[in-house]
Amino acid sequence: MTQVPGDPRERMLSVAVAALNEREPERLWPLVAGALPGLCGGEMLVYKLDDWNESAGTVGMPSALADVFDGLGEKNMGLLRAGFPFAEHYAARSDRTPLTARRAAGRAWRASPTARLIGDVMDADHVLAIPLPRSMAPITGCMVYRSGEDFTDDHVRTAQQLQPLLAAVEEQRQLLERLRRATAPSPAEGPAREAAADCALTPRELTVLLLLTDALTAAAIGRRLGISDRTVHKHIEKIYRKLGTRDRVSTVLRAQHLGLVPTA
């Protein structure tokens, strides 16, 4: 997914729908990375699912861009991880409003090693940081790059509008990871795993069950999954029936006993 037709709101909606229907957690951020730059005036994107610091942290990017960075040494990868000047900027405050590198660092941006790096490797001149809105420690998010003129105020406003979508994508990724861990077969589980299989929960029911363990309301579960409250209640009723329970507490305890959800 590189470009989605229509105005920015329609394109944002298309990305959200695609993310909600994706069932493989490792595909979510690459999907966003292919669509997001064009929504806020950029040409390419790097995303960080952990802290912006130069010593450690994963860096995700579209496959075409990954090929470019394969040959970078550790020093240059450190510059990319740190994302100057954003790590220092966001660490010093709770505000997570998107910001361009030039506005954050002033004249120091042009002379920085990071600016030279992205110029040499990406042929880009400017960076727009889009941190996840509630990330505190670690600070996580995306960096969007472009050549030529800096990002406009409209681009920055669009990036701010995208922040809730990015937060929802990350929540969905973490949920899918939890679901994968909870349902992965394990020989050590023995009879408990066999009993769980006998419950015949569907993948969507397992997802709802995981969210029940977080004590979310039906309305909150519906918002997370993009379904109505009524549909959530129907899933919960089926879960109760299949697990032989009558309320949330006993359902979660039963599911933990069967190995359907983590115990902590």
> What CATH number did the domain enclosing 105 receive?
3.30.450.80
Give the model's pLDDT for residue 6: 55
Distance CA 165, CA 178 (A): 20
Domain of 243?
Answer: 185-258
Virtual torsion, Cα 239, 241, 245, 250, nearest 10 deg: 0
Residue 180 in any domain: the answer is no
Residues 195 and 246 in one domain: yes
Give the model's pLDDT for residue 264: 59
Virtual torsion, Cα 141, 136, 174, 44, nearest 10 deg: 0
Residue 96 in any domain: the answer is yes
H helix or E strand, kind and range, residue 216: none
- Going by the DSSP 8-state scheme, the letter that residue 57 receives in this structure is -
pLDDT < 70 positions in the chain: 1-9, 64, 182-198, 264
The pLDDT tens digits for 194-235 are: 555 567 888 788 888 888 888 888 888 888 787 888 999 999
Nearest to 37 by CA among 69, 4, 68: 4
Q: If phi over 0 gives left and psi between -120 and 50 gives alpha, with beta otherwise, what is residue 250?
A: alpha
Look at residues 135, 154, 175 and tell me which one is the last residue of a structural domain.
Answer: 175
Residues 158 and 195 in one domain: no
Contacts of 42-45 with CB under 8 Å at 24 or more apart are 42/128, 42/144, 42/145, 42/146, 42/151, 42/155, 43/124, 43/145, 43/146, 43/147, 44/122, 44/124, 44/144, 44/145, 45/142, 45/143, 45/144, 45/145
Give the model's pLDDT for residue 26: 86
Residue 2 in any domain: the answer is no
Q: Residue 246 maps to which CATH number?
A: 1.10.10.10
Look at residues 175, 207, 237 and tell me which one is the last residue of a structural domain.
Answer: 175
Give the model's pLDDT for residue 188: 45
Residues 27 and 94 in one domain: yes
The number of folded domains in the chain is: 2
Residues 232 and 102 in one domain: no
Give the model's pLDDT for residue 197: 55
Scanning the chain, the segments in alpha helix (DSSP H) are 8-21, 25-39, 63-69, 74-82, 86-91, 101-105, 113-122, 153-183, 191-199, 203-213, 218-225, 229-243, 248-258
Nearest to 154 by CA among 39, 47, 43, 2: 39
Residue 264 in any domain: the answer is no
Distance CA 12, CA 39 (A): 8
Residues 193 and 150 in one domain: no
CA distances from 197 to 64, 91, 189, 190, 204 (A): 41, 46, 12, 11, 15
